[in-house]
Amino acid sequence: MSETDESTASDSTPVEGAATDEEPSSAADDAAPAESSSDADLTELVEDDPETHTGDDGARYAPLEVEGLRKEFGGIVAVDDVSFDVEEGTLTGLIGPNGAGKSTTFNLITGMLDPDEGTVRFNGEDVTGFEPHEIANQGLARTFQIARELEEMTVLENMMLAPKGQVGESLWRSILPITRGAVREQETEQLERVWEVLDFFEIDHLADEYAGNLSGGQRKLLEMARALLTDPDVLLLDEPFAGVNPSLEKRLLEHIHELRERGYTFLIVEHDMDLIMNNCERVIVMHQGRILKDGTPTEIKESEEVIEAYLGGEV
Amino acid sequence: MSVDDLRGRFEGLFERDVTLVLAVLGTIYLAYILAGVAFGYELRGQLNSIANLTFYIGVFGMLALALNLHWGYTGLFNIGIVGFMGIGIYVTALVSKPPVAEGGAAQVGGFGLPLFVGVLAGVVVAGLFGLLVALPALRLRADYLAIVTVAFSEIVRFTMMSRTFQTFTVPDTIDLWLFTFDPAADTVGLGGGGGLILNYTDPLEALLRALFLWEPYLGFVAFVQQNFISNNPKPVIDGVVYGIVLLVGVGLFYLLLSRTGKSPFGRVLKAIREDEDVANALGKDTDRFKLTAFVLGAALMGLGGILWYSGRGSITPPSFRPNITFFIWIALIIGGAGSNTGSFLGGAIFAGLLYEGPRYFKNLVETAFELGDAPRNFGEAMAGFASLDPMPFVLYTLDSISQLRLVIMGVVLIWLMHNRPEGLLGHRKETASSVDLARPGSGGSTGNPAAADGGEEQ
């Protein structure tokens, strides 16, 4: 069903050529060599990021630490004694079969659910039981399993919503003539960055489109772009590749790798084993609410338990 | 702000939407004037008819705009609008009515403060009640907010009617920490089922006096009396001028609400409407935004209520039944939730066609065809069909057109839901941002290839 959508979407936004593009504006954008323009964009993207992003070689600092998380729904234990940490500047994968508790773990970390037991620490601070918006403001951004766009808002509005610390979010500043100037000024600055990120994700030709009109794959890109604009330290991506065609998947992966090289930290939930194995430096395997195995892709591949869990052995 | 910027803004004003609004208003007014000509109205009658039309366009426009903030922008399902309107006007009355001794006929007095204090108090108290309702209710999902608000508006109405709140005796002195008040009021209250007589200064007079326009205004009235309407023209002119004041009010509502909408604040409201969890996950404290929006909207509804009823001689609880709420909802749905321009347009169309229109239509038909007396009941109306004469039925229908108004509204609503659920202007194109979101330096157009090209060369 949506497969056709996505293939047309990716056809219209080729990575290296503009031949198939229908809009003149985006043709011009895409005509620029992808490499150089992305690089330029990226420097801009992270220029106001804290120093902490420059990775050191020694023991890495872990901004996100999860300890002993437990969540029950009725009598069912969805997440049971889950502990792990996510090191800075890494791509960590969280995999497991359906119902393993990955998304619940995500929701517990991001404050959408409150854990029954355990703690979540972010940048050294205990954020257990914080409201989702408080956690987001600490620098922990997330995307959703099914891309959740603000459908009757344009792509630009979606993007402009994300940045933190907007003075215009105070009603009085926005309506009073004296203070509105500052609001406009900040929005103008913000707008430049929004366009840079749109260029980086190559969705700038969709800027004036309603988010609801985007294809599944474009929504995934928009959602990641939007999360990035909150200026996070750690990005939690909930199945970013679900329902995405292979060419877009490749693009998404390229973006993720580029961002990671610039110092962003990723925790990715996914149930496509190969994808995680080939791209993450560390993999956490969950099964039936527990952590089955935590290690490098090679270690995971060799683990009997993991193979059994995935191939449906008795556990 | 540069000249270009100003010009851009000015041109922005005359986009298609505004043309449409002006065209619709023009058509409605023209229809009313033509109807007036058909009725053989003199100037006085025409002015009366125009004043009446303008009044309803004004109040419905304002209230639809306020509701648009709740529903169109934030997705808050408020069906207790009339409760906030009632609070507004009742508080104004309580604060500004003269004390009972001076009031003469009135059994219940007020605090006798100037009218503008009363209006301010009415707006503030309506906002505070908005807060009171919203605090527990916004934690609930949409449908529950609807139940809470409609219940609230009924509680307000029953409170107005209740004997307990009919009268209070105010002590001669009130000691409040360091201050001692000596209020002029003796007996205040909500007046119970009998309502309140609004025996404060005429609101129009109060406004014009405050603007130092009262004397020129009287001069103008005298001028009209000499030249155009010899017989007591003041009430007519009052009506027209009050209508103009209301339209200015609509303009201010529009300015305030479009500024609210076109800002980062409005953007978060839209995001809450679309998906509250997403807004939350992006670090927005959605509870705070919902609360602010609800209180602002409630205060504006209070002001709408004040402007609607303050010119009346009296207010009674039956005026504040939920049907008013649903009228405003219909107005908003016609115009298109989510668009401020659309909200006003919906208010105008509702007032002109659905609210006042049927009565005019009836009068028009009666003037045109010299019809006989209508049958007294439905049986007689149907009896005509026995001899294949539909006239009694037609006459009966025409005679009960004010009751049928609700049916007509229902039909229009159903038609809209089927054919244009987004309303006339419900495309929600009013971008929630204080600046143009086109690519910076592209000359205001995202589709400009040359500029986009220039942006890429680094």
Is 60 exceeded by the pLDDT of residue B443? no
Supply the pLDDT for residue B377: 79
Nearest CA in chain A to B449: A25
SS3 category, A309:
helix
**A3-17, A159-173, B286-300, B321-335: the lowest-pLDDT one:** A3-17
- Give the pLDDT mean for A9-32: 40
Which residue of chain A comes nearest to B431, CA vs CA? A157
In a 3-state reduction of DSSP, which class is residue B121? helix
Alpha helix (H) ranges present in A46-175? 102-109, 132-138, 155-161, 171-175
Q: How confident is the model at residue B9 (pLDDT cuts 50, 70, 90)?
A: low
| pLDDT per residue as tens digits for the range A237-267 | 988 888 788 888 888 899 899 999 988 999 9
Q: What mean pLDDT is predicted for residues B64-75?
A: 94
Tokens 């009919």 identify what position?
B166
Collect all residues of chain A within an 8 Å Cβ-Cβ radius of residue B440.
188, 191-192, 195
Which of A122-131, A182-191, B38-47, B93-102 is predicted with the least confidence, judged by mean pLDDT?
B93-102
- Over residues B59-83, the mean pLDDT reads 95
| Mean pLDDT, residues B221-237 taken together | 88
To the nearest whole Å, the CA of A146 is away from the closest chain B CA by: 12
The whole-number average pLDDT for the span A213-217 is 88
Residue A187 banded pLDDT, cuts 50, 70, 90: very high
Q: Is the pLDDT of residue B454 over 70?
A: no
Q: Which of A286, A263, A255 is nearest to A80 (CA)?
A: A286
Q: What is the mean pLDDT of chain B?
A: 85
Q: Are B343 and B428 in contact (CB under 8 A)?
A: no
Structure tokens at A167: 């003075």
For residue A157, give the nearest of B256, B270, B440 by CB distance: B270
A25 to B263: CB separation less than 8 angstroms, yes or no: no
Determine, for residues A180 and B259 on separate chains, whether the beta-carbon distance falls below 8 Å: yes
Q: Which two tokens stand for residue A154?
A: 């344009």
- Residue contacts between A and B (CB atoms, under 8 Å): 159
Is B274 within 8 Å of A151 when comparing Cβ atoms?
Answer: yes
- Strand, helix or coil at B377? coil
Helices (H), B165-311: 203-210, 214-227, 234-261, 264-274, 276-281, 286-309
Which comes out higher in pLDDT, residue B388 or B302?
B302
Contact between chains at B457 and A169 (C-beta distance less than 8 A): no
CB contact under 8 A, B440 and A191: yes
Residue B101 confidence class, pLDDT cut points 50, 70, 90: low
d(CA A314, nearest CA chain B) in Å: 37
pTM of the model as a whole? 0.84
Answer yes or no: is pLDDT of A180 > 50.
yes
What per-residue confidence (pLDDT) applies to A56? Answer: 45
Lowest mean pLDDT: which of A158-167, B97-106, B220-229, B311-320? B97-106
Write the residue in B282, B428, B456 that is nearest to A28 by C-beta.
B456
Domains held by chain A: number: 1
Q: Enumerate the residues of chain B whose CB falls inside 8 A of the CB of residue A40.
A: 458
Average pLDDT over residues A153-164: 93
What are B130-161's pLDDT values in tens digits?
999 998 877 777 788 899 999 999 999 999 99
The shortest CB-CB distance from B267 to any of A40, A152, A157 is to A157
- The span from the CA of B246 to the CA of A28, in Å, is 51
CATH of the domain at A113: 3.40.50.300
Reported as a pLDDT band with limits 50, 70 and 90, residue B119 is very high
CA trace torsion A168, B273, B406, B304 (10° rounding): -20
User: Mutation test of the interface with chain B: which of A152, A155, A208, choosing the one with the most B Cβ atoms within 10 A?
Assistant: A152
CB contact under 8 A, A187 and B264: yes
The secondary element (H helix, E strand) that includes residue A183 is helix A177-200
How many Å apart are CA A13 and CA B85, to the nearest integer? Answer: 53
- Check B434 against A133: CB less than 8 A apart: no
Do A37 and B432 make contact, defined as CB atoms within 8 angstroms? Answer: no
Q: What is the pLDDT of residue A55?
A: 43
Mark yes or no for CB contact B284/A169 under 8 Å.
yes
Q: Report the pLDDT value the prediction gives residue B10, as an integer from 0 to 100.
A: 55
Whether B449 shows a pLDDT value over 70: the answer reads no
Of B449, B343, B432, B310, nearest in space to B64 by CA? B343
A68: helix, strand or coil: strand
Confidence of residue B367 (pLDDT cuts 50, 70, 90): confident
Percent of chain B with pLDDT over 70: 87
Is the pLDDT at B238 greater than 80? The verdict is yes
Q: Pick the range with the lowest mean pLDDT from A180-184, A193-197, A255-259, B164-168.
A: B164-168
* Mean pLDDT confidence for B184-204: 84
- Give the residue-averaged pLDDT of B390-396: 82
Residues of A in contact with B425 (CB under 8 A): none
Choose between A15 and A79: higher pLDDT: A79
Q: Which residues of B touch A154 (CB under 8 A)?
A: 431, 437
Would you call B281 and A142 a contact, using CB atoms and an 8 Å cutoff? yes
C-alpha–C-alpha distance, residues B345 and B430, integer Å:
15
For residue B194, pLDDT beyond 60: yes
Asked if B437 lies within 8 A of A207 by C-beta distance, the reply is yes
Per the structure, the complete domain to which residue A204 belongs is given by: 2-53+61-311
Q: Residue B23 burial (CB < 10 Å; 0-12/13-18/19+)?
A: exposed
CA atoms within 13 Å, Cβ hemisphere of B200: 33
Query: Are A103 and A95 within 8 A, CB to CB?
Result: no
B227 min Cα distance to partner chain A (Å): 44
For residue B347, which amino acid is it? G
Say whether pLDDT at B447 is over 50.
Answer: no
Better-scored residue on pLDDT, A309 or B3: A309
pLDDT single digits (tens) A77-124: 899 889 999 988 889 999 888 888 888 998 999 999 999 999 999 998
